[in-house]
Amino acid sequence: MDVVVIGAGLSGLTTAALLREAGADVQLVEAGPQVGGRIRAFRGPGNTSVLGDLGPTWVWPKYQPVVARWVASLGLETFEQFNEGDAVIQGYAPTALRQPLPGQDGMVRIVGGPSAIVDRLAERIDPATLRTSTPVTGLFEDGSQGVIVRLGSGEVITARRVVLSIPLRVAATTLQMPWATRELADLLRRTPTWMSTHAKAVALYDRPFWRQAGLSGRIASRAGPLLEAHDHSGKDGFPAAIFGFVGWPPNVRQREPDGLKRAILDQLSECLGPSAANPDDLIVQDWATNPHIVTDLDISEPADHPGIGPAVLRQPHLDGRIRFAVSEASEVSPGLIEGALAAGERAARELI
């Protein structure tokens, strides 16, 4: 085995696809049952069309050259985030207010969501070289040549090179890495995983009824449970959807999942009108329950947006045999989709 890539999120998929195309013998090992990592879609019957994004939604190709290049090379289409009409501002005055709120310059959505990138990359990987539901538990030196990758089952794989495309805090807290210095282990532990403590709610409707009422679908709230919400409908308005970020802390929302859904529908009805009370579906994706993404440290120390981490995160370790390549390790847009693509490209380029 030339290379084992650990973690089949966007960064790991990028590395594995590029290495395979360069002729390397690559194995991609993923702890969870599916690829994509923090990128996930809610799909329609038959697991086909994407109805909503449960992880990231937005990219900024105007300011993100790596994203712009990948969107173009994968033949993907983008469209503006819908923001026409009034937003609803809730919890700042005794009754909710209506007023327009400016959108973000350059912020767009991908047709099919960021999952479209994952799907296209996954097609470029030989399924026989992908192992899902296979957590890695340790990385050990193998003589002077390679790396022993220990799996949760106790099985080991030996490779000349390893790319670690898993959240840095997850690596520090769940993997045995006896070769890592104390300084490196501390750095990994100190690097938060962007959005790992968040929960996202997607409500699907038969039509974007709020648009007829002159509303953009956007909500800014101090009352919650959604602190902000946005129109999440498809490019032409269908499927019609609203998504929001949940403000309840992880322990509260995990204790009261049904109460959370009721409170979300009450809030959406108050802000967007009574039709919001009866969605076709309401999905809550709580990332803080996924032990392959979040750690106790992330939950106890909520993070600011990650800055560019020290260069040691991008340097090879164990005589060049092990590299980190996850979004938070990137020197470009760390924590974001662009960071994941850039980190994955960089690892592949260096190994090639």
Ligand X SMILES: Cc1cc2nc3c(=O)[nH]c(=O)nc-3n(C[C@H](O)[C@H](O)[C@H](O)COP(=O)(O)OP(=O)(O)OC[C@H]3O[C@@H](n4cnc5c(N)ncnc54)[C@H](O)[C@@H]3O)c2cc1C
Distance of alpha carbon 116 from alpha carbon 73, whole angstroms: 13
Minimum distance from residue 311 beta carbon to ligand X (Å): 18
Minimum distance from residue 134 beta carbon to ligand X (Å): 7
DSSP code per residue over 246-307: E-S-HHHHHH-HHHHHHHHHHHHHHHH-GGGGS-SEEEEEEGGG-TTT--HHHHHSPPPPP-
Quick note: the x/- pattern for ligand X over 287-306, rule CB under 6 A, is x----xx-------------
Tell me how far the alpha carbon of residue 253 is from its chain's centroid: 20
Question: Six-digit token pair at 37?
Answer: 């990592």
Q: Tell me the pairing of strands 199-205 and 215-221.
A: unpaired
Total binding residues toward ligand X, as defined by CB under 6 A: 40
Query: Using an 8 Å Cβ cutoff, are 199 and 287 in contact?
Result: yes
Answer for which of 28, 327, 347, 351 binds ligand X (CB under 6 A) is 327
Answer for which of 42, 82, 194, 210 binds ligand X (CB under 6 A) is 194
Question: Six-digit token pair at 242?
Answer: 């609203």
DSSP state, 114? T
Secondary structure element (H or E) that encloses residue 350, with its range: helix 337-351
Minimum distance from residue 287 beta carbon to ligand X (Å): 5
Quick note: the x/- pattern for ligand X over 23-62, rule CB under 6 A, is ------xxxx----xxx---------------xxxxx---
Minimum distance from residue 7 beta carbon to ligand X (Å): 3
Of the pair 199, 270, the CB lying nearest ligand X is at 199
Quick note: the x/- pattern for ligand X over 121-160, rule CB under 6 A, is --------------xx------------------------
Question: Six-digit token pair at 85?
Answer: 């009409």
Q: Which residues bind ligand X (CB under 6 A)?
A: 6-12, 29-32, 37-39, 55-59, 135-136, 165-167, 170, 174, 194-195, 198, 200, 287, 292-293, 326-327, 335-337, 339-340
